[in-house]
Amino acid sequence: MTLAIYAVSYFSAAVYRYNEVLKSFKEKPQLTVFFKDEATEAEILNLKTSLEARLEVKEISYISKEKALELYREQNLDKPELLEFVTADILPASLEISTTQVEFQESIARELSNNNRVESVVFHRDVVKQLVQFSRAARVEGFMWAVSLLTVSVLTILIIVGLSITAYGREIEIMKLVGAGNWYVRWPFIFQGAIYGVASAALAAGLLYLMPYIKDFFLNGTESVLLPGVSVFPVADWLLLRLWGATTILGAGLGALSSLAATWRYLKA
């Protein structure tokens, strides 16, 4: 069960990390539309107004040639040689667009690229696609792995508790002879299963916490990533505590239910 709960925790942390990266993309301008010199400010502002009316567009900022020059100078204050011959005329006006969902970026970029006033559209096409794909894959694969391992864990607990009941068969018979009910006999085994689950959750949380150190020791610091540049480890302390709490409840519940099923098989209600 420890491996099953670790898989649940690991993929939950992975999905959280990818969602955080996607969120950072949402909070920044995701598309930058550069206009040709012949595009007038009125035309650009009209396009801005039409885009703002669309539900998939969250925010748009207009960067004029003068504003672009100002930003360029701020970014290159320590490189005066780059500022000497740069004027507002050679810098393009642009729109910086944030979408409500990263999935909308490509369709908007394709549409704007067909505008005869647009010079180019820049956005992190490959990064966005990979993040969305990996986030979905982490959910699906994590769910499949978790279900598979949890199923094996439940079957294992059924066998272990069944063996325990068989081993204590004589004691159980004596208890029933002196008037003990089936539920009175079941409760110790149910608690046993719940303790297995709680212990497994604690071990899984400990493994998740120690994994960066284990990785450094055995892999000489090689990054453990599902997507280049996005590492699952280390897991934030607050997230680790939440995962520990959630998996403790999950483990205890599964352990108790598995034990209940095992006792129900051996003890008739």
Task: Mark whether 255 and 133 lie in a shared domain.
Answer: yes
Task: Mark whether 168 and 212 lie in a shared domain.
Answer: yes
Task: Mark whether 46 and 16 lie in a shared domain.
Answer: no
Task: Mark whether 228 and 116 lie in a shared domain.
Answer: no
3-state secondary structure 134-162: HHHHHHHHHHHHHHHHHHHHHHHHHHHHH
- Structural domain count of the chain: 2
Task: Mark whether 190 and 259 lie in a shared domain.
Answer: yes
Task: Mark whether 247 and 142 lie in a shared domain.
Answer: yes
Q: Of 83, 100, 123, which residue constitutes the final position of a domain?
A: 123
Task: Mark whether 102 and 147 lie in a shared domain.
Answer: no
Domain with 104, as residue range(s), is 31-123
The CATH number of the domain holding residue 99 is 3.30.70.3040
**The model scores a pTM over 0.75:** no
Task: Mark whether 94 and 158 lie in a shared domain.
Answer: no
Distance of CA 125 to the CA centre of its chain: 20
| pLDDT at res. 165 | 76
Burial per residue of 72-91, b for 16 or more beta-carbon CB atoms within 10 angstroms, e otherwise: eeeeeeeeeeeeeeeeeeeb
pLDDT tens-digit profile, the chain (269 residues):
666 676 677 767 777 776 776 666 655 557 888 888 888 888 889 988 998 888 888 888 888 888 877 877 776 667 665 556 566 667 888 888 888 777 788 888 888 888 888 888 887 665 666 666 666 776 776 677 677 777 777 777 777 777 777 787 777 777 777 777 777 778 888 888 888 888 888 888 887 777 766 666 555 544 444 445 556 666 777 777 888 888 888 888 888 888 888 777 666 54
Evaluate whether residue 26 is within a structural domain. no
Strands 230-231 and 225-227, sheet pairing: antiparallel
Mean model confidence pLDDT for the chain: 75
Q: Of 98, 123, 148, which residue constitutes the final position of a domain?
A: 123
Strands (DSSP E) found in the chain:
31-35, 57-63, 94-99, 118-123, 225-227, 230-231
